Amino acid sequence: MEFLNSAVFLIFAAMIIFSSVFAVFAHKIEYSVLSAVVCFLSVGALFLTLSADFIGASQIMIYGVGVSILLAFAIMFTGKDSPKSLYLTNPLRVFLGFVLVLTFLSVLIFFISPVLDPKSDGAFSSYGSFAAQIESIRQIGTAKFIGRRIFCDYVLPFELLSLLLLAGIVGVGYLAGGSKKDV
């Protein structure tokens, strides 16, 4: 079981890292979009291994299906690249970007490596009275509890989020809709 957990984690982590690097450095934008979709699906599968079934299903539906269709539409509308292919910026900025990102990654790893003891197996032992809820999350999933939390404690952010999505729909329709002269 432990072997299975670590094998699944390693497979999906490798898929995420390789497909994201390929999406950044692919020569053609179509390959880049396909590789990005692979990365999104792998992140969704990784959510499923974290006992987050609702988030994993949302990730696969939103990113794996919706966002990929949006990106395909964007490629379709913007057509082919300009005659010289758009790949990387000038070499000075590429070099400075690599330096900056490697520095940032080393700072991140420096800060997250000593914080957590790798042998700690979560903090479930301190939740003695909630053992029933954890057991039911293990059995029926997290959707019920997420719904209860959202509609009890996070009602206002949830409704504001729906307003934001409505404004996004109207704004996208206004921006990308056909030009007024054609009508």
Partner 1 sequence: MFDVTLIHYLFLSAVLFCVGLLGVIVSRHLLRVLISVEFMLNAVNINFVAFSNYNDLIRLDGHIMAIFVMAIGVCELAIGLAILILVFRKTHSVDADGEYIEEEKWS
Cβ atoms of 53 and 46 closer than 8 Å: no
Q: How far is the CB of 35 from partner 1 (least distance, A)?
A: 9
Nearest to 133 by CA among 149, 118, 151: 149
Task: Say if residues 126 and 119 touch (Cβ distance below 8 Å).
Answer: no
Which tokens go with 22? 């390929």
CB of 74 vs partner 1, minimal distance in Å? 5
- In the complex, minimum distance from the CB of residue 178 to partner 1, in angstroms, rounded to a whole number: 10
- Measure the CA–CA gap between 183 and 180, rounded to whole angstroms: 6
C-alpha to C-alpha distance for 171 and 183, rounded to whole angstroms: 19
CA dihedral 19, 20, 24, 30 (to 10 degrees): 50
Q: Which is nearer to partner 1, 21 or 140 (CB)?
A: 21
Q: How far is the CB of 140 from partner 1 (least distance, A)?
A: 13
Residues 46 and 15: beta-carbon distance below 8 Å: no
From the list 20, 10, 9, the residue with the least C-alpha distance to 101 is 20
Tell me how far, at minimum, the Cβ of 84 lies from partner 1, in Å: 9
User: By C-beta, is 90 or 183 nearer to partner 1?
Assistant: 90
